[in-house]
Amino acid sequence: MNTQALINTASALVAGDKGLLAMDESTATCNKRFAALGIPQDEEMRRDYRALLITTPGLSAGISGAILYDETIHQRTREGTSFLNVLIDSGILPGIKVDMGTKDMAGHPGEKITEGLDGLRERLIAYGEMGARFAKWRAVFTIGDGTPSQSCIETNAQDLARYAALCQETGLVPVVEPEVLMDGAHTLEQCSAVTEEVLHEVFSQLYAQRVMLEGIILKPNMVLPGLTCPQQATANEIADATVTCLLQAVPAAVPGIAFLSGGQPAELATLRLNAMNVRFKSRLPWALAFSFARAIQQPALEIWAGQPEQVAAAQCALLHRIRCNQAARRGDYNALYEHP
Ligand code: 13P
């Protein structure tokens, strides 16, 4: 394992005010998003859409790395340039989602386990040879009646740690994504308690599997009240709850925390990230960055809607969200960014 190279890659992913562009939706998820907008759900349209994203002029000013999906990492633009080369040539680190999705956990109604460890070492080696520099694995936890169970937390955390150890052995930085879902009526406090418990278990397993913490990125949820909780929270309350929770559970050796958006409206995700950096940035051991999919892509996807003449307008919308999130990293985002 080249320790220094892993540290350098992890640091580069959260450097300055940049963040990650998560564009690793599985085919099923991408098709679902397309279907909602009446976009044909075939490989060519998925290729055109992902090409739109990665060829956005100026993308690398705000994006340090892009997370691809297996179909996408093998694709080329209409002009014939491989997506990997488009990214590498523009100075963006290519990453790859390597989990095989979530499946029902046997004996645990309502809970999910992430699959994908079988053959993972060989897949990581192959992706590394293609040019990938980092990888991603997502586990999900649902807050409900008796969930998440201890066994769901332990098993998913151990799998995340085994994945992370294999990544580092192969020279790829693991992006470790334990996601406590927003669905449900739980309170901010309940989300905080569950997120803290999950993160404690994840870091305990990372330690047990000898993962070098300086060479990972953590990709957690923000601490939020459930979508149907009657008591919603302000951006400042969410910032306080999230950072307080992370300080309890995330070792200082971790270089960066890049949040998922989890279905939050784009502007709210930005506002909340900004509140965290305004209130805490100078006192934190790790960078607080973004690794959004929906909260960075959705406006662009809606503008494109499958129409070639809308590519430039969609790229503008993507760049706009990126600039807003860069401002949130610096802690100087405000309403004027959205409505100048
Ligand atoms: P969202 O930002 O849409 O939650 O997606 C992030 C991600 O990578 C999910 O695995």
| Cα 298 to Cα 280: distance, rounded to the nearest angstrom | 28
The label of the residue with tokens 């999230």 reads: 242
Any ligand 1 atom below 6 A from CB of 293: yes
105's CB contacts (< 8 A; 6+ apart) are 111, 112, 113, 152, 155
> Is 210's pLDDT higher than 80?
yes
Sequential DSSP letters for 220-283: PPP----TT-SS---HHHHHHHHHHHHHHHS-TT--EEEE--TT--HHHHHHHHHHHHHHHGGG
Query: Which amino acid is it at 242?
Result: T
Expressed in angstroms and rounded, the spacing between residue 134 Cα and the centre of ligand 1 is 16
Any ligand 1 atom below 6 A from CB of 260: yes
- Give the pLDDT confidence score for residue 194 in this predicted structure: 98
Cis preceding-peptide flag for 251 (omega within 30 of 0): no
Expressed in angstroms and rounded, the spacing between residue 259 Cα and the centre of ligand 1 is 9
Tens-place pLDDT, residues 169-196 = 999 999 999 999 999 999 999 999 999 9
CB atoms within 10 A of CB 80: 6
* Integer Rg of the chain from CA: 19
Q: Which of 25, 111, 177, 201 is catalytic?
A: 177
Q: What are phi and psi of 178, to 5 degrees?
A: -95, 115
Expressed in angstroms and rounded, the spacing between residue 145 Cα and the centre of ligand 1 is 25
- Give the pLDDT confidence score for residue 213 in this predicted structure: 98
Largest CA distance in the chain: 53
Expressed in angstroms and rounded, the spacing between residue 260 Cα and the centre of ligand 1 is 5
| Cα 17 to Cα 14: distance, rounded to the nearest angstrom | 7
Contact 261, 292 (CB under 8 A): yes
Kindly state the percentage of the chain with pLDDT values over 70: 100
- Give the pLDDT confidence score for residue 340 in this predicted structure: 80
> pTM for the full model?
0.98
Contact 135, 167 (CB under 8 A): yes
Assigned CATH topology for domain 3-338? TIM Barrel (3.20.20)
Sequential DSSP letters for 170-222: HTPEEEEEEEE---SS--HHHHHHHHHHHHHHHHHHHHHTT--GGG-EE-PPP
Any ligand 1 atom below 6 A from CB of 138: yes
| Cα 314 to Cα 30: distance, rounded to the nearest angstrom | 17
Indicate which atom in ligand 1 lies nearest the CA of residue 269.
Answer: 2
| Cα 70 to Cα 315: distance, rounded to the nearest angstrom | 23
| Mean per-residue pLDDT over the chain, rounded | 98
User: What does each C-alpha distance from 282 to 43, 57, 278, 330 come to in angstroms?
Assistant: 45, 32, 9, 10
Is 18 tagged catalytic? no
Across 121-128, average pLDDT: 98
Any ligand 1 atom below 6 A from CB of 137: no
Q: Would you state the structure tokens that stand for residue 102, as one six-digit string?
A: 């979530």
- Give the pLDDT confidence score for residue 71 in this predicted structure: 98
Choose which residue among 68, 294, 298 to substitute to test ligand 1 binding: the one with the highest number of ligand atoms within 8 A of its C-beta.
294
> Is 1's pLDDT higher than 80?
no
Domain map of the chain by residue range?
3-338
